[in-house]
Amino acid sequence: MAINLFGFQIGRPEEETPQSVQSFAPPTNDDGTMEATEGGFYGSVLDLNEDTKNEAALISRYREMAQQPECQRALDDIVNEAIVSSETELPVSIVLDNIEQPEEVKTLIREEYATVMKLLKFNTKAYDIFNSWYVDGRLYYHLMIDTKNTKAGIQEVRQVDPRKIKKVRTQKKSKASANAQGNVFNQEYNEYYMYSKNGIAPGNDAVKIAPDAIAYIHSGILNQNNSIILSHLHKAIKPLNQLRMLEDATVIYRLARAPERRIFYIDVGNLPKGKAEQYLRDMMAKHKNKLVYDANTGEVKDDRKFMTMLEDYWLPRREGGRGTEITTLPSGQNLGELDDVLYFRKKLYESLNVPSTRLESEAQFNMGRANEITRDELKFSKFINRLRNRFSELFNIILEKQLLLKGVITKAEWLEMKDSINYDFMEDNYFAELKEGEVLRERLSLLRDVDEYTGKYYSTEWIRTEVLKQSEDDIKQIDKQIEAEAPEEGEEEDEDF
């Protein structure tokens, strides 16, 4: 059986057979793949697509948003919850309990998984990798192999800027069957990646890359046309802009309205306009002059203060009105009010699915029981689990290529087992122990309550499975341990004697 990887064919070639399963609809575009026309000059065709230009600008905007202090603080909360580092263990371990393979194969899979994690440098760069995926909404890795020795597996994994690469799909030029109404079925497509150092709207320097050479994962969030992958930060664009504008407006208002200013009404009598303006300027200069002492030079100099919007106002007054007058313009009121700023900051946190209680730096972390955890924290925990499940697809993609190149398993075996492979993300040990201890304590308390009904209304097996929540494997293992630890009859008699 031949396997196509990285543009190479491993194994004997097989004759192409037409697909027996046909459809009138093209494959669903759920990964932001760009539709293109087969043939011609790819650079010109792809450059006409406005989505590609917008996507690069959108990624740059996401990265600029991540530099905002409020966004950065929320991102730290999310990434710190999802990725827990340890000096002795990997942040993510593979779980193969649900796959039906010999133990020797499982051992090889674990070894290759350790190799993949080493290639990703995941033990030291886990935080940066997850943060980059969350902010950009997508993550590309180039899987590099030795073309002279493909069985050596992946040699290097290199991250690619998502603004310079794009997945493209073109329709194959093949004979397609049609029904009586003329509807075309069995449309086949070619998929590949286009890379350009000048951006994802390729020009003359665009490079066509085999799809197997790229490991690509995304956020799973698309725009209305299913043409652009969106980041989890996308829904925070509007709240962040509102917060920025309100903060700027608050600062401007406080600078402009904070001081009390005087209004000088200068009586100019019947002077002509030119002389009246000159007289007003002379009065301003006369009252604006200020003698100051320069401590550096020891000189006394005239420090002339020119009128600005933050200082006094000088207004001429004609004859017939009141004479020269000085009044006071009051300063702004309620300058200490920040309710609007706090509201939009809270709204920003909610748009990022982070509990608003984490916004309060003075709030202490509650180490209470599980039933005392707020609903927002529970929703945040489920959100983190969804992110982990989506992100773990990266391990599946790279591990598949590594196992097929090394010949550990076949393509058919991988398709059968990939959905049964799980990944265990490390948790904060202290919090996990508290939760497990509380759950066990509640189960033992319930066990004491139903113990008197054992053998009358409830069986031992039912209690072990429904009350203690022990699985079949747990029951077998515990029974073996009890049997191994039970003393023999002769030992019991010796002890009694």
pLDDT in tens, 85-106: 877 778 899 988 888 888 899 8
Q: Do 21 and 132 reside in the same domain of the chain?
A: yes
Give burial (CB, 10 Å; 0-12/13-18/19+) of 137: buried
Q: Looking up tokens 């043409």, which residue turns up?
A: 227
Say which residues have a Cβ less than 8 Å from residue 72's Cβ, sequence separation at least 6.
Answer: 66
Q: Do 93 and 223 reside in the same domain of the chain?
A: yes
Q: Do 129 and 197 reside in the same domain of the chain?
A: yes
Task: Tell me what pLDDT residue 141 has.
Answer: 94
Last residue of a domain, one of 284, 304, 329: 329
In this structure, the number of other CB atoms found within 10 A of the CB of residue 447 comes to 14
Is it the case that residue 191 has pLDDT exceeding 80?
yes
Q: Do 126 and 149 reside in the same domain of the chain?
A: yes
106-161: pLDDT as tens digits: 899 999 999 999 999 998 899 999 999 999 999 999 999 888 888 888 999 999 99
**Average pLDDT of the segment spanning 469-491:** 78
Q: Do 44 and 187 reside in the same domain of the chain?
A: yes
**Average pLDDT of the segment spanning 356-385:** 68
Task: Tell me what pLDDT residue 102 has.
Answer: 87
Q: Do 191 and 278 reside in the same domain of the chain?
A: no
b/e per residue 215-247 (b: at least 16 CB within 10 A): bbbbbbebeeeebbbbbbbbebeebbeebeebb
Q: Is residue 450 included in any domain, yes or no?
A: yes
Question: Two tokens at 394?
Answer: 């990266």
Last residue of a domain, one of 329, 358, 384: 329
Q: Do 210 and 314 reside in the same domain of the chain?
A: no
Q: Where does the pLDDT of residue 205 fall: very low under 50, low under 70, confident under 90, or very high at 90 and above? A: confident
Q: Do 401 and 312 reside in the same domain of the chain?
A: no
Its pTM surpasses 0.85: no
Q: Do 402 and 450 reside in the same domain of the chain?
A: no
Q: Is residue 161 included in any domain, yes or no?
A: yes
Is it the case that residue 325 has pLDDT exceeding 80?
no
289-322: pLDDT as tens digits: 566 667 677 776 666 554 444 466 677 777 666 6
**Average pLDDT of the segment spanning 214-238:** 88
Task: Tell me what pLDDT residue 84 has.
Answer: 86
Q: Do 195 and 266 reside in the same domain of the chain?
A: no
Least confident of 162-166, 217-221, 325-329: 325-329
Q: Is residue 389 included in any domain, yes or no?
A: no
Q: Is residue 418 included in any domain, yes or no?
A: yes
Task: Tell me what pLDDT residue 224 has.
Answer: 82
More confident residue, 235 or 29: 235
b/e per residue 260-298 (b: at least 16 CB within 10 A): eeeebbbbbeebeeeebeebbeebbeeebeeeeeeeeee
Number of domains into which the chain is organized: 3
In this structure, the number of other CB atoms found within 10 A of the CB of residue 62 comes to 21
Last residue of a domain, one of 308, 329, 350: 329
Q: Is residue 96 included in any domain, yes or no?
A: yes
Structural domain containing residue 304: 259-329
Average pLDDT, the chain: 77
376-430: pLDDT as tens digits: 777 888 899 999 999 999 999 999 999 999 999 999 999 999 888 999 888 775 5
Measured CA angle at 473 (ends 470, 477), to 5 deg: 95
339-351: pLDDT as tens digits: 788 888 888 888 8
How many Å apart are CA 316 and CA 280, to the nearest integer?
A: 7
Q: Do 14 and 88 reside in the same domain of the chain?
A: yes
Pairing label, strands 3-5, 138-145: unpaired
